[in-house]
Amino acid sequence: MRFETLAVHAGHRIDPSTGAVAPPIHLSTTFARDEESVPLSGHTYIRESNPNQEQLEEALFPLEGGAAALVFASGMAAGIALLQSLPPGSHVLLPHDVYYGFREAAEQFLPNWGIRSDLVDMADLAALAAAIRPETRLLWLETPSNPLLGVVDLAGAVALARAAGALTMVDNTFATPVLQRPIALGADIVLHSTTKYFGGHSDVQGGALIFARADELWERIAHQRHLLGAVASPFNDWLVLRGLRTLACRMAVQTASALAVAQALEKLPTVSAVHYPGLPSHPGHEVARRQMSGFGAMLSFRAAAGREAALRAVGRARLFTRATSLGGVESLIEHRASSEGPGSRTPQELIRLSIGLEHPDDLIADLEQALR
């Protein structure tokens, strides 16, 4: 089955008790047992498993070509669950431009858990190879990266990890499985902040891990979620499931608009650089063409006149909403360093865009007036 069809049908079933076509939301925290005290449905208590969580997981793993999925209360909770599953003494490699929440969590929490981590520029496979140590257990990949849209050669990184006996996890939040399938390229685990494109409407938080194999690691992290409690509410699982039904068509339109916006920005004299893997000027363009079927709906660019000019342009935007996050139907603009706060390593003149479902000509006109 092709992706568009799977997105509509994966995990779908007609509710046997009512015939409802849209899935019901089960808010019950506890589930009944029969006369022999056997659970009637397989579920016993909401934190261990529940129908909306199960249905979302059944829909998610086929979309990434995996064998199993676990959903969480947020993208951060999903990533931290994987890190917490590593034994003390492990070493983890993260990209130098990893999503800032994970960089800060790695700095502030991993040492307490006996885990060491290093940041490395993974666009440079030789640098990545040199950073791997005997105790490296996990290569954490993110491509395209946030907010500089750096591209990492996934097959190349997977080969290095395998040779070293380390797992690879790919944060696929920006690309989504519509455009990039890391498991088909050999990755062991895929991470999503489903808050972004899966939800798609800026109204739900969630996270997911999708596993290439329904193995011991998957079971261990499911057990950990049950006991440590990073569980999403059934309503949030229901909203993410609703969002993923339209993921393929939203990504197609948003990606086409993002390319048009990137091309228009490249022509403006007030813009010194545009970071979008779909542009031939992007250093990762060839690798992105090999491993992605489209280049996504996120881009960033630099104001030629520096920080103040970037802040002024963001302030002048009328159609773009000034807000952080991404993946919704409405286009967003942000001065990224301000959003990340004092620990940010993002260039001060950088503006990040999330392209939504508006007409690209309207978006381009807004940026042209903001950057005049």
Supply the residues annotated as catalytic.
Answer: 47, 99, 171, 196
**Minimum CB–partner distance for residue 191 and ligand PLP (Å):** 7
**Minimum CB–partner distance for residue 218 and ligand PLP (Å):** 20
Q: What's the angle, vertex CA 156, arms to CA 152 and CA 162, rounded to 5?
A: 120
**Minimum CB–partner distance for residue 142 and ligand PLP (Å):** 6
**Residues in contact with ligand PLP, shown as a per-residue x/- string from 111 to 150 under the rule CB under 6 A:** -----------------------------------x----
Q: How far is CA 304 from CA 97, 141, 307, 351, 366, in A?
A: 22, 30, 9, 11, 18
Burial level of 269, CB count in 10 A (0-12/13-18/19+)? exposed
Using CB under 6 A, which residues numbered 168 to 227 contact ligand PLP? 171, 173-174, 193, 195-196, 205, 207
**Minimum CB–partner distance for residue 76 and ligand PLP (Å):** 4
Report the half-sphere exposure of 39 (CA within 13 A, side-chain side).
11
Please identify, using beta-carbon distances, which residue of 24 and 101 lies nearer to ligand PLP.
101
**Residues in contact with ligand PLP, shown as a per-residue x/- string from 4 to 43 under the rule CB under 6 A:** ----------------------------------------
Please identify, using beta-carbon distances, which residue of 143 and 264 lies nearer to ligand PLP.
143
Element holding 163 (H helix, E strand): helix 154-164
# binding residues, ligand PLP (CB under 6 A): 14
| Secondary structure (3-state) at 192 | strand
Distance CA 4, CA 87 (A): 39
| Secondary structure (3-state) at 72 | strand
**78, 232 in Cβ contact below 8 A?**
no
Nearest CA to 284 among 76, 75, 137, 95? 95
Looking at this protein, which amino acid is placed at residue 322? R
**Minimum CB–partner distance for residue 130 and ligand PLP (Å):** 25
Using CB under 6 A, which residues numbered 69 to 108 contact ligand PLP? 74-76, 99, 101
Q: Which stretch binds ligand PLP (CB under 6 A): 68-76, 217-225, 266-274, 304-312?
A: 68-76
Please identify, using beta-carbon distances, which residue of 101 and 156 lies nearer to ligand PLP.
101
**What residues contact 23, with CB distance under 8 A and at least 6 apart?**
12, 13, 15, 52, 55, 238, 241
**Minimum CB–partner distance for residue 19 and ligand PLP (Å):** 34
The number of angstroms, rounded, from the C-alpha of 362 to the middle of its chain's C-alpha atoms is: 27
Chain position whose Cβ is nearest to ligand PLP: 75
Residue 37's CB: how many other CB atoms inside 10 A?
6
* Residue 89, token pair as written in the block: 């003494």
Please identify, using beta-carbon distances, which residue of 340 and 349 lies nearer to ligand PLP.
340
Q: Residue numbers of the site for ligand PLP (CB under 6 A)?
A: 74-76, 99, 101, 146, 171, 173-174, 193, 195-196, 205, 207
